[in-house]
Structure 1
């Protein structure tokens, strides 16, 4: 029997991916909110709407460098003759004493300076002879030019940022400008990554017979960080039940999510499943391992551990390609949910498939692909050679082609769904 036929034979016993993800995500809640200093809150997700308590700008002010004047005083005395005004003072952004204009006078002002009473236009420096005691104006702007009025950008009560949004540098700027120094946000999830297996050795060396370089803990730590988590790589855990239990117990107080790789199958050496499954009865926790209609990464584990504070745990396969796909499908949405982000799934587009691909029936396949925008709109999707288990393809991909459970052949020219991956340079 071929691999595809085996997949199809087992499809009736598999849990649909959508049903599985729904059951997992419904068990989780965003982390409790906390109040943070504005700068510390950068990168976190807002737990509530933020409203403007003060107007922005906070007062009428000059928006440019120039001369604050009255528009009625800028009427030219004759054809081609410049307007001449007396400069009665200088105002900078740090000026605080009230100033008032009288007829045929002006103030030299810097951008950000309070607007003198009576002024209704700022004449740009380039439109004048830049005089100090008196100034000649060669080009007259319209009334209101160069002025920023109180609250014209943000009025009191305006929504500055919405719950579920990320605190970006621009959001920090808006909040600071509105006089807000603290915000209520969801904390950044702390994610611990553990690779398991007696065969694993540290990166920086070449695999020998009986040895496999630990790829997963490094790759998944990077993936968790990219997803917005505080990611901690614990390293390699041997296939020793007591060592594994002790390690997991030790990580519970410092974690919001634990991710393991390897040992999730049904073989005699799959220690993670033996230690964490319900049948084990250990004090560590309770994890259910489910055969999911997913290719690759068909076996996924999820549950909680910890005797007092229960911490969610995700158990991914040991194959690096399967582990990375499993992270995208399961662990990344969990991190987003814990962080309070909306939506929890990556954005997707529909694109024009450039090459015919085969897919195992009964399984939802995620395959590395290159996505490009088409001239005139839309996208093209180029599947990468080697399929989803190929690390080289995953490293090159900027998207994941999604082929549904009923798809065995996707013909070139057909329209397909593709998840867009982050590629921050």
Structure 2
């Protein structure tokens, strides 16, 4: 017997079956090379200063501001050294210190007025210097890559900016770099490396097994005989799961045979080590609905069965279960229903397994009016205009033949091609008017990230 429930209630039932996967330390070198989508399992803090020393922010000359007139008029200083990235800070200090700093080791070019050090971006700034004058603002004009250091003196003037990145001005030990649940981005990998870390605590990528049911299904690209159609649903589920940040095991189509379905479930729940199983088709009340035949049966491998009639259009028939302890979400077989069901129920489950927050709907104004059958949450593929308002997404051939246009968009898979969101129209609404605000679940958010 089916349980009648709202979309919100079914989401809660789905999420009650999943929990974040175990954490592991993953090296930054591996994270930089693997597919995106993994989330931090714990807060991450820096352990080092960024930058670790005062560094030049421009190619130019390191100087002491006291040696330059305060009114900005030019001064000529001897060039007393040449510093490149990678130069040890202590050697920089020892080999470039002018006489006015009060230490030995100065070159013959030093004088009481101080000096200027030729310095490249990223090189340590000597402790006696407090500014870098960009080479473009000096008498030198530009440096020649790989060239010698011909200038013995340089004319320059005080600048508005010091062009020095001071030690620890970006990141200091203990600074929070990322919170548990944050998706690891290239920026986080880079900042973590700069902040002294070699690895991050990560959730394992969920392993999602997908298959479709139906004896009428044939492999995509094969010659389909009478009564047969290509298996697009297992491809759809695999692509959606991958886009949600999961590793995917795709079995393809399984015929309407309960024993064949049980064997397929065994192969992914045990052999493939799936964290979640997702199927399409066979979940309604027809004579060929193989999922219902299995979940209604008595099998020791089956547990926690829930068959639900969700107040949703499209996507009313849904089923939940565990097969050998692995959560199993059974979606309807209509491709648009499967797409909608994945966005509403599967994507949040993948996000939770990965340790991320599920996606949230955002409010958008409707730029056109459309009817909405009351009584169930009506899901409409929509396209966002530059203004931020939404219109219904339509099939590419809308308006070119019988059954075309907006009326066909609700069941036409091709309408999804132009959609970047799903409008969720409340059950008590019978028409969306221009300017009405509707909840829209974005489809282009990576890995189910919250809006």
Query: Normalising by the residue count of structure 1, what TM-score does the alignment of the two structures yield?
Result: 0.89
Within the alignment, does 1:351 sit opposite 2:354 as a pair?
no
Q: RMSD in angstroms over aligned alpha carbons? A: 2.2
Counterpart residue number, 1:165: 182
For 1:334, which of 349, 352, 355 is the aligned residue?
A: 349
Within the alignment, does 1:33 sit opposite 2:26 as a pair?
no
Within the alignment, does 1:372 sit opposite 2:390 as a pair?
no
* 1:221-246 per-position Cα deviation (integer Å, ceiling 9, x unaligned): 11111111112221111222222212
Structure 2 CA distance for aligned equivalents of residues 161 and 79 of structure 1: 43
The structural deviation recorded for 1:13 is: 7.0
Structure 2 CA distance for aligned equivalents of residues 411 and 157 of structure 1: 52
* 1:313-354 per-position Cα deviation (integer Å, ceiling 9, x unaligned): 110111111111111111111111111112x02442321341
Structure 1 CA distance for aligned equivalents of residues 306 and 236 of structure 2: 24
The number of equivalent residue pairs is: 401
Within the alignment, does 1:85 sit opposite 2:77 as a pair?
yes
Give the direction of change, closer, same or farther, for the CA distance of 1:347–1:149 in structure 2 (3 Å limit): farther
Say if 1:276 and 1:282, in contact at 8 Å, map to a contact too.
no
Within the alignment, does 1:61 sit opposite 2:61 as a pair?
no
Q: Which moves more between the two structures, 199-208 or 129-138? A: 129-138
The structural deviation recorded for 1:260 is: 0.7
* 1:147-206 per-position Cα deviation (integer Å, ceiling 9, x unaligned): 011110112211011111111111111111111110001111111111111111111146
Structure 1 CA distance for aligned equivalents of residues 24 and 445 of structure 2: 30
Within the alignment, does 1:101 sit opposite 2:79 as a pair?
no
Within the alignment, does 1:252 sit opposite 2:269 as a pair?
yes
Counterpart residue number, 1:267: 286
Counterpart residue number, 1:127: 137
Alignment of 1:2-81 (within 5 A): 14-41=4-31, 43=36, 44-75=38-69
Counterpart residue number, 2:332: 317
Structure 2 CA distance for aligned equivalents of residues 67 and 135 of structure 1: 11
Give the direction of change, closer, same or farther, for the CA distance of 1:392–1:79 in structure 2 (3 Å limit): closer
Structure 1 CA distance for aligned equivalents of residues 72 and 304 of structure 2: 90
Say if 1:363 and 1:404, in contact at 8 Å, map to a contact too.
yes
Counterpart residue number, 1:152: 169
Within the alignment, does 1:302 sit opposite 2:320 as a pair?
yes
Counterpart residue number, 1:417: 439
Say if 2:78 and 2:154, in contact at 8 Å, map to a contact too.
no
Structure 1 CA distance for aligned equivalents of residues 332 and 293 of structure 2: 14
- Secondary structure of the equivalent of 1:39? helix
Query: Normalising by the residue count of structure 2, what TM-score does the alignment of the two structures yield?
Result: 0.84
Structure 1 CA distance for aligned equivalents of residues 268 and 166 of structure 2: 55
Counterpart residue number, 2:146: none
Give the direction of change, closer, same or farther, for the CA distance of 1:298–1:79 in structure 2 (3 Å limit): closer
Say if 1:353 and 1:415, in contact at 8 Å, map to a contact too.
no
The structural deviation recorded for 1:293 is: 0.6
Structure 2 CA distance for aligned equivalents of residues 398 and 33 of structure 1: 32
Say if 2:372 and 2:432, in contact at 8 Å, map to a contact too.
yes
The structural deviation recorded for 1:398 is: 1.4
The structural deviation recorded for 1:286 is: 4.4
The structural deviation recorded for 1:276 is: 2.8
Counterpart residue number, 1:388: 410
Counterpart residue number, 1:8: none
Structure 2: stretches of 5+ with no match in the other structure = 101-113, 141-148, 395-405, 447-451
